[in-house]
């Protein structure tokens, strides 16, 4: 009873207790909530400058998740494969700068997870509408795999699949809600992961979608 009361209080605090998912990955429930209004206003501006789009995989499939980026580098996929690029292929211009509110949130989360020197140069913005999903994959296109990834969930809840180093390792299922942050690095950095198909629903601030931000040190 007392323990439940304290963990509920921690979930609403600006610095929730980190929950370990496995060595190297921590879940910070609700950590983004204090910044949510600034973050959502800044994201609107970013998505006006660099609109969400469905990228094509190297095998020619259209991704169900729509994406854009901000920061010095952006993750892109096309028939040539995956890479980080300093300009938006839709406009030919540099990606929008990373807004202060996003950088502040990413650094606060990394620090809470023990990575006080994290300085992201890329933020990938993923938009899921009902039915959109992300298959199991590894994030291995970043130069320094010693740097963590900070992943922020906004809008509708989703189930994050979190596996091991091998594609065949059976993944854990972690429910993620609006405001939750996962920080992921060290021995978990190359673990396979994905997102199950988004269920129908309407979020009070974001409507029928989930937005995920992943902050990386890519260059």
Q: Which of ligand MD6, Fe ion, none does residue 126 bind to, with CB < 5 to 8 Å depending on kind? A: ligand MD6
Q: Which of ligand MD6, Fe ion, none does residue 195 bind to, with CB < 5 to 8 Å depending on kind? A: ligand MD6
Whichever of 126 and 209 has its CB closer to ligand MD6, that residue is 126
Q: Give the Cβ contact number of residue 22 at 10 Å.
A: 15
Does residue 69 interact with ligand MD6 by CB under 6 A?
Answer: no
Query: Looking at the chain, how many residues does it have?
Result: 219
Q: Is residue 31 classed exposed, middle or buried when 0-12, 13-18 and 19+ CB atoms within 10 A define those classes?
A: buried
Rounded to whole angstroms, the Cα distance separating 37 from 178 reads 12
Does residue 123 interact with ligand MD6 by CB under 6 A?
Answer: no
How many residues bind ligand MD6, per CB under 6 A?
Answer: 12
Shortest separation between residue 151's beta carbon and ligand MD6, angstroms? 3
Rounded to whole angstroms, the Cα distance separating 167 from 129 reads 26
Whichever of 9 and 114 has its CB closer to ligand MD6, that residue is 114
* Helix/strand/coil for 78: strand
What part of residues 178-217 is at the interface with ligand MD6 (CB under 6 A)? Answer: 182, 184, 193, 195, 212, 214
Per the CB < 8 A criterion, the answer to whether 110 and 18 are in contact is: no
Per the CB < 8 A criterion, the answer to whether 153 and 36 are in contact is: no
Shortest separation between residue 93's beta carbon and Fe ion, angstroms? 26
Rounded to whole angstroms, the Cα distance separating 32 from 179 reads 5
Whichever of 47 and 94 has its CB closer to ligand MD6, that residue is 47
Q: Give the Cβ contact number of residue 9 at 10 Å.
A: 11
Does residue 126 interact with ligand MD6 by CB under 6 A?
Answer: yes
The distance of Cα 138 from the centroid of its chain, to the nearest Å, equals: 13
Per-residue x/- marks for ligand MD6, 135-154, CB under 6 A? ----x---------x-x---
Shortest separation between residue 189's beta carbon and ligand MD6, angstroms? 9
Rounded to whole angstroms, the Cα distance separating 159 from 177 reads 9
Q: Phi then psi for 107, rounded to 5 degrees?
A: -75, -35
Whichever of 95 and 184 has its CB closer to ligand MD6, that residue is 184
Per-residue x/- marks for Fe ion, 128-147, CB under 5 A? -----------x--------
The residues of the shown chain that bind Fe ion, judged by CB under 5 A, are: 139
The residues of the shown chain that bind ligand MD6, judged by CB under 6 A, are: 126, 134, 139, 149, 151, 160, 182, 184, 193, 195, 212, 214
């Amino acid at each position: 009873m007392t323990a439940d009361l304290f963990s509920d209080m921690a979930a609403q605090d600006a610095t929730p207790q980190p929950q370990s998912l496995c060595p190297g990955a921590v879940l910070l429930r609700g950590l983004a909530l204090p910044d949510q209004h600034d973050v959502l206003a800044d994201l609107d501006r970013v998505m006006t400058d660099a609109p969400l789009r469905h990228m094509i995989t190297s095998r020619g499939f259209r991704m169900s998740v729509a994406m854009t980026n901000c920061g010095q580098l952006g993750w892109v996929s096309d028939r040539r494969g995956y890479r980080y690029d300093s300009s938006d292929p839709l406009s030919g211009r540099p990606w929008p700068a990373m807004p202060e509110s996003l950088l502040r949130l990413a650094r606060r989360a990394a620090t809470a997870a023990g990575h006080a020197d994290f300085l992201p140069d890329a933020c990938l913005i993923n938009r899921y509408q009902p039915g959109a999903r992300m298959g199991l994959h590894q994030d291995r296109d970043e130069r320094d795999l010693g740097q963590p990834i900070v992943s922020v969930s906004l809008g509708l809840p989703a189930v994050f699949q979190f596996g091991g180093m091998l594609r065949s390792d059976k993944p854990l299922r972690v429910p993620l809600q609006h405001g939750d942050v996962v920080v992921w690095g060290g021995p978990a950095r190359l673990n396979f992961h994905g997102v199950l198909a988004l269920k129908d629903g309407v979020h009070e601030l974001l409507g029928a979608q989930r937005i995920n931000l992943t902050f990386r040190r890519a260059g």
